[in-house]
Amino acid sequence: MLLGAIADDFTGATDLCSMLVRGGMRTVQLIGVPGPDDVPPDADAVVVALKSRTAPVGQAVSESLAALEWLRKAGARQFFFKYCSTFDSTDEGNIGPIADALIGALGCGFALACPAFPTNARTVYQGHLFVGGMLLNESGMEHHPLTPMKDANLVRVLSRQTDGTVGLVPFSTVEQGAVAIRRTLTGLKEQGRRYAIVDAVSDAHLMAIGEAAEHHALITGGSGVAMGLPANFRRAGLLQAAGDPSVLPPMGGHAAVLAGSCSRATLMQLGYARDHVPVFEIDVMANADPAALAEGALAWVEGKLGDTPVVIAASAPPEKVAAVQARFGRDAAGALIEDAMARIAAGLVERGVRRMVVAGGETSGAAVARLGVRSLRIGPEIDPGVPWTHAEGSGPAVRMALKSGNFGGTDFFLKAFQV
């Protein structure tokens, strides 16, 4: 294991995994902190997916430390703390406290922090984070329900979350390349800074930052800054070119799609799917019992399973969602539908489905938990940020694509089964 990463949420972990696979590293995502007896997977990079972004800070720190400890024992040579490219956090944390704890445990005293991901229009200039053409605090993120980002100056934001001090590697230095960046990072560390926010507005910058951090014990950032890391391992002769790292074991079995996301992209994908394959809509207004909802969907599936995917959807447009939430309450409605979808996922696997797309972050989490999935080996990308994965755990192995609600093109639910 070359790289051991800790991600503060589930879909963010997959995003990082995809980046590493693109760089030629065989990558496995683990769900939650592995147990002491869990055998490390045969992979160049392992990403432990936690739910530490919005967890209470004490729990976020202790889980991150436990993940670090396991990755160290498994032999990882370098560590990565992955957070969102919009630096999702509050003044209480959890980015600062987790990074402080990891730096303390590793005894490295210093880490760079770079959430930039120019491909997704997240750039950092003079320490300020932009989303597209907007400063972070004018991008809509200032209204986020859990982690409202009201300040775009990341030096200030991170300073509020740590008792260490935060410096900056500005654009003018980053533009000069890896040697200049490395020199500045070393200088900041020697001055006693614990962190350096690093500017980046292009992939070339990310590659140079990665190269500059070749010997850092810990790197923190979005998935973008991981772009340069595979090249370091390759240059050091540690990463052998052993064929395409995204090749997964062959998998037959029936095909199905479960959609629990109500995001715009998913609704478009459902509209497209309706014209091409059988689609079943779950109606919580007609029946609010998750077991009965699952039974109804699984009865409908009878005789339809095969190579052509069946689609089962709870997804609904905003006015319908509002009506459901008015009746049951927002959280209860979400939990009820997630429970039904998770039962359906299990029922489908019992009926021989082995290739499954799940749309929606929370919905994916519920399905994966119900199926007892512990690890996802990352395969080929269907659309940017959504790879097929080989899911293993307590049940039979399943090919799964876990799609964050707004990801994927209109034909995603059909295209997935052609990749």
Residues in contact with ligand ADP by CB under 6 A are 260-263, 314-316, 320-321, 324-325, 333-334, 337-338, 360-363, 404-405
Closest CB 75 distance from ligand ADP, rounded Å: 34
**Which residue lies nearer to ligand ADP by CB, 17 or 212?**
17
Distance (Å, rounded) from C-alpha 411 to C-alpha 129? 33
Closest CB 204 distance from ligand ADP, rounded Å: 31
Cα angle value 279/285/287 (rounded, 5°): 85
**Which residue lies nearer to ligand ADP by CB, 99 or 337?**
337
What are the residues whose beta carbons fall under 8 Å from the beta carbon of 378, sequence distance 6 or more? 14, 17, 18, 20, 21, 27, 28, 29, 246, 387, 389
Distance (Å, rounded) from C-alpha 340 to C-alpha 357? 16
DSSP assignment letter at 226: G
Closest CB 413 distance from ligand ADP, rounded Å: 14
Closest CB 296 distance from ligand ADP, rounded Å: 15
Residue the block writes with tokens 């930052």 = 209
Instruction: Indicate the residue whose CB is closest to ligand ADP.
Output: 405
Residue the block writes with tokens 């070359």 = 2
Closest CB 358 distance from ligand ADP, rounded Å: 8
Closest CA to 198 of 119, 132, 113, 108: 113
Closest CB 324 distance from ligand ADP, rounded Å: 4
Distance (Å, rounded) from C-alpha 379 to C-alpha 90? 34
**Which residue lies nearer to ligand ADP by CB, 155 or 359?**
359
Cα angle value 376/7/166 (rounded, 5°): 160
**Which residue lies nearer to ligand ADP by CB, 365 or 379?**
365
**Which residue lies nearer to ligand ADP by CB, 34 or 405?**
405
Distance (Å, rounded) from C-alpha 67 to C-alpha 222? 18
Amino acid at 101: A
**Which residue lies nearer to ligand ADP by CB, 112 or 273?**
273
User: Which tokens hold the place of 90?
Assistant: 């509050």
3-state SS class at 193? coil
Give the β-pairing of 134-135 and 128-131.
antiparallel
Q: Is the CB of residue 381 less than 8 Å from the CB of residue 387?
A: yes
Closest CB 97 distance from ligand ADP, rounded Å: 25
DSSP assignment letter at 94: S
Q: Is the CB of residue 389 less than 8 Å from the CB of residue 402?
A: yes
**Which residue lies nearer to ligand ADP by CB, 199 or 338?**
338
Closest CB 53 distance from ligand ADP, rounded Å: 13
**Which residue lies nearer to ligand ADP by CB, 312 or 314?**
314
